[in-house]
Amino acid sequence: MFRKKGSSPFVFNVKSRMRVAGMLILLAPLCIFVRLFYMQTFLYEEFSSKAERAIYNYLAEDRLRGKILDVNGRELAESVRTHSCGVNKRYVQNKNKTVDFLSQTLGIPKKRILEKWNRASNFFFVAKKIKPDTYIKISQILRTNLGQGLELTPEYERIHPYGASAMDLIGASNSKNLGLSGIEQMYNRELSQDISKKRAKRARRGEIIYDRKLKEELSVANVYLTIDAVAQFYAENALKKEVEAIGAKHGVAIVQEPKTGKILAAASYPVKDGQSLAFQFTYEPGSTFKTIAISSALDAGVVHITDSIDMSGREWKVASTLTVRDNQHKKDFLSIPEIMQLSSNIGAGKIALELGAKNLYYYIKGFGFGTKTDINFNGESKGNLSHFNKWTVVDTATKGYGYGVAVTPIQLINAYSAIANGGTLMQPHIIDRIEYAGGKVDKKSKPVKIRRVLKEETTEIMKKVLQSVVETGSGKHAKIKGYNVAGKTGTAEKLSKEGGYAKRKHIVSFCGFAPVSDPQFTVLVILDDPDKYSFGGTTAAPVFKEIMERLLAMKAVPPDQLDFE
Amino acid sequence: MRVFVVLFLLALFGFGIAVMRIEINRSGREISQIQNEVEVKEARNQYLQLEISRLSRPGHIIQIAEEELGMVPAKPHEIVVLEEK
């Protein structure tokens, strides 16, 4: 039956059968290999994009944003993640059911949704900034038939729990978490963190499969201001009431800690996002500037506190172009405290001339006028102080009572704080610290002494002089029971567009500190262009008093008067 | 025989890896779902915290104290700070 081995080439012994079978078995993987090679080489693009869609999902780019808080950690601005709900009409399976669902879930009348539906060619937003509870309800039906065509787009809502309070400082940011003005813009780099687009594996129904690589290390920071939200509220509240009562165009109120330079409140009214009048407004200060000129003259030793200045006729012809008049008293001689109490322009002008243009200029410069305070707020103005070489006698005299020099509120309050703290000009701060996600803290508000501007003895004299202004002079309305208060009123005429000074347009102000024995707060109040003619002593001083009273109570500062009952 | 054992072990190893990968994906999916839930709950918590901040803002408290409870702010000299023992 069987032929002998080697007798014919077609004899199938076990070995050749195995070889044939092996080749047949190898043929299948070979075909697969050839197909794979073809696919890999010629159909790569097509299949890789299919695989990409089937296996991966993309996590959208994102931008996290830190908080802005007050010095005590009260949130002034915080980003909350919200979502916008949109409809892609093309993919909606049952229009009526979808509209019903959206109407019930979002609490929007059906009619309004249908109006949007009819107006849109394909895609339209039904609601923006939807709350988390609503988001859960919608996200749960997204993968059902009812949810086909619905889209939830993440966005942010910047919430200000204290309402418009300090908005002039904080500024604004948009729904993409980008700072647009104020602190939001200035500290945008620290406050925001960009999260790049990420590829994530997806499950069958599209859910993202967690992977450690998806988690990005947080570097976003929280910015703490030196502002105390309660002090800010008191300042804003008192300022708003007075601005509205006297019909002023603007108002500014600042509270500073004289020993550290920290700004506890900086209120502007009306409030505009990111535009703080405390740093950006420039004005001729008028009589509040007499404090600067007279303290400089006392410090230089050109006048003594016991000196009297000749007021004969209450009229002083400085030059052919300028005659200064004092209508508020009938005295022929005034002592230096009386010049301040009665706010005599003749007295302050004569003392400025006595000090001389050069000395006055360097003292004014020393107090920080004519240069930015470097408080680090966008748009801070440096005011206007020309070089003494250009001054005439009139310029020197008028600077003595606060004309011919433009200052910013922050410069003036910082100068008063220097008198309050014993003669040292401090660096003003509005940023207390920046706390990064990793726990690193960047302290920004360490007290920094800029320079000594007055001798301590001079400041002691000036404190008594300013205290007498409140006790018996033009600042009576700033008196606070139990506390010695020092301060100076200011009523300055504004420059007119036609040239010269406008008789009906003026700025009233009051700047002072308390308690005199150990000053805790310096407060400046400015009211710009009131409807009716008013004085710093009758309008700004009461606002100062209201703010200072609240601050002293808030910090439980003990009274420094012994017998006030 | 030895070849079969090696092949069997290799197959077992491959199966083990496959099961592990499936398990990793399942866990990853669960973690993602939990993370989503955490995010939503955190957002809700944040809203509630903000509501607390809103309600405790000085303007709101002063309004309730003065208008509803008839309170007036104390003058600073009326405040007595008790010394801590």
Q: ipTM of the assembly?
A: 0.72
Span B15-41, pLDDT tens digits: 999 999 888 888 887 887 888 788 778
B6 — phi, psi (to 5°)?
-60, -45
DSSP for B35-53, please give it: HHHHHHHHHHHHHHHHHHH
Strand order in the sheet with A501-514: A263-269, A250-256, A521-528, A501-514, A486-495
Of the pLDDT bands very low, low, confident and very high (cuts 50, 70, 90), residue A235 is very high
Span A169-185, pLDDT tens digits: 999 888 777 888 999 99
Q: In which domain, by residue range, is A523 found?
A: 229-438+447-554
Mean local confidence (pLDDT), A292-318: 93
Mean local confidence (pLDDT), A341-355: 95
Which amino acid is located at A365 in the chain? K
Span B28-75, pLDDT tens digits: 878 878 887 887 788 788 888 888 888 988 889 988 998 999 998 888
Of the pLDDT bands very low, low, confident and very high (cuts 50, 70, 90), residue A61 is low
Rounded-to-integer distance, Cα A543 and Cα A541, Å = 5
* pLDDT at res. A12: 66
For residue A273, what is the DSSP state? Answer: T
Which residues 6+ apart lie within 8 Å of A105 measured at CB?
A: A134, A137, A138
Query: Taking CA atoms, what residue in B is nearest to A482?
Result: B77
Number of domains in chain A: 1
Res. A2: pLDDT tops 50: no
Rounded-to-integer distance, Cα A75 and Cα A83, Å = 22
CA distance A325 to chain B (A): 40
Lowest mean pLDDT among A174-178, A196-200, A435-439: A196-200
Among candidate residues A124, A153, A123, the one with its CA nearest the CA of residue A138 = A153
Contact A210 B50 (CB under 8 A): no
Q: What angle do CA B60, A225, A172 make, to 5 degrees?
A: 75
- Residue window 519-538, chain A: list those with CB within 8 Å of chain B: none
Contact between A435 and A221 under an 8 Å Cβ cutoff? The reply is yes
A557 — phi, psi (to 5°)?
-75, 125
Rounded-to-integer distance, Cα A152 and Cα A127, Å = 10
Res. B1: pLDDT tops 80: no
Contact B73 A557 (CB under 8 A): no
* pLDDT at res. A407: 96
Residue A329 domain-assigned? yes
Residue A559 has, within 13 A of its CA and on its CB side, a CA count of 16
Span A505-528, pLDDT tens digits: 899 999 999 999 999 999 999 999
Contact A556 B81 (CB under 8 A): yes
Rounded-to-integer distance, Cα A381 and Cα A378, Å = 9
Of A136, A233, A550, the CB nearest to B73: A550
* pLDDT at res. A268: 95
For residue A271, what is the DSSP state? Answer: -
Mean local confidence (pLDDT), A34-55: 82
- Residue window 52-71, chain B: list those with CB within 8 Å of chain A: 53-54, 57-59
Span A236-290, pLDDT tens digits: 999 999 999 999 999 999 999 999 999 999 999 998 888 899 999 999 999 999 9
Whether a cis peptide bond, with omega within 30° of 0, leads into A515 is yes
Contact between A78 and A67 under an 8 Å Cβ cutoff? The reply is yes
Contact B40 A230 (CB under 8 A): no
Q: What angle do CA A416, A532, A405 make, to 5 degrees?
A: 35
DSSP for A545-565, please give it: HHHHHHHHHHTTPPP--SS--
Strongest mean pLDDT among A15-24, A120-129, A508-517: A508-517
Res. A192: pLDDT tops 70: yes
* Sequence-ordered alpha helix ranges (H) in A206-254: 229-246
Of the pLDDT bands very low, low, confident and very high (cuts 50, 70, 90), residue A149 is confident
Q: Give the CA-trace dihedral at A40, A46, A48, A51, to 10 degrees.
A: -120
Rounded-to-integer distance, Cα A348 and Cα A226, Å = 35
For residue A84, what is the DSSP state? Answer: E
* pLDDT at res. A206: 60
Contact between A547 and A522 under an 8 Å Cβ cutoff? The reply is no
Mean local confidence (pLDDT), A93-97: 89
Q: Give the CA-trace dihedral at A394, A398, A404, A406, to 10 degrees.
A: 160
Rounded-to-integer distance, Cα B41 and Cα A167, Å = 29
Lowest mean pLDDT among A14-23, A242-251, A365-374: A14-23
* pLDDT at res. A73: 92
Res. A225: pLDDT tops 80: yes
Rounded-to-integer distance, Cα B84 and Cα A332, Å = 56
C-alpha dist (Å) from residue B80 to A234, A563, B57, B76:
21, 15, 25, 9
Residue A335 domain-assigned? yes
Contact A481 B77 (CB under 8 A): yes
Q: What angle do CA A288, A294, A297 make, to 5 degrees?
A: 150
Beta strands in A160-246 (DSSP E): 192-195, 198-201, 221-225
Of the pLDDT bands very low, low, confident and very high (cuts 50, 70, 90), residue A14 is confident
C-alpha dist (Å) from residue A435 to A40, A179, A369, A419:
52, 18, 33, 33
Contact between A284 and A177 under an 8 Å Cβ cutoff? The reply is no
Say what percent of chain A tops pLDDT 90: 58
Which residues 6+ apart lie within 8 Å of A275 measured at CB?
A: A168, A181, A182, A268, A379
The mean of the pLDDT values for chain A is: 89
Span A394-429, pLDDT tens digits: 999 999 999 999 999 999 999 999 999 999 999 999
Query: Taking CA atoms, what residue in A is nearest to B57?
Result: A162
**Pairing mode, strands A56-59 and A198-201:** antiparallel
Residues of A in contact with B76 (CB under 8 A): 480, 482-483, 549, 552-553, 556-557, 559
Residue A68 domain-assigned? no
Contact between A99 and A117 under an 8 Å Cβ cutoff? The reply is yes
Q: Which two tokens stand for residue A326?
A: 């004092």
Rounded-to-integer distance, Cα A538 and Cα A490, Å = 10
Chain B contact for A207 (CB, 8 A cutoff): yes
Of the pLDDT bands very low, low, confident and very high (cuts 50, 70, 90), residue A1 is very low
Rounded-to-integer distance, Cα A199 and Cα A55, Å = 10
Boundaries of every domain in chain B: 2-78
Rounded-to-integer distance, Cα A524 and Cα A193, Å = 37
Q: Which two tokens stand for residue A235?
A: 């300042």
Residue A516 domain-assigned? yes
Q: Which two tokens stand for residue A450?
A: 């800029």
Rounded-to-integer distance, Cα A348 and Cα A448, Å = 31
Whether a cis peptide bond, with omega within 30° of 0, leads into A270 is yes
* pLDDT at res. A472: 93
Residue A59 domain-assigned? no
Contact A161 B35 (CB under 8 A): no
For testing contact with chain A, the best of B33, B51, B57, B63 (most A CBs within 10 A): B57
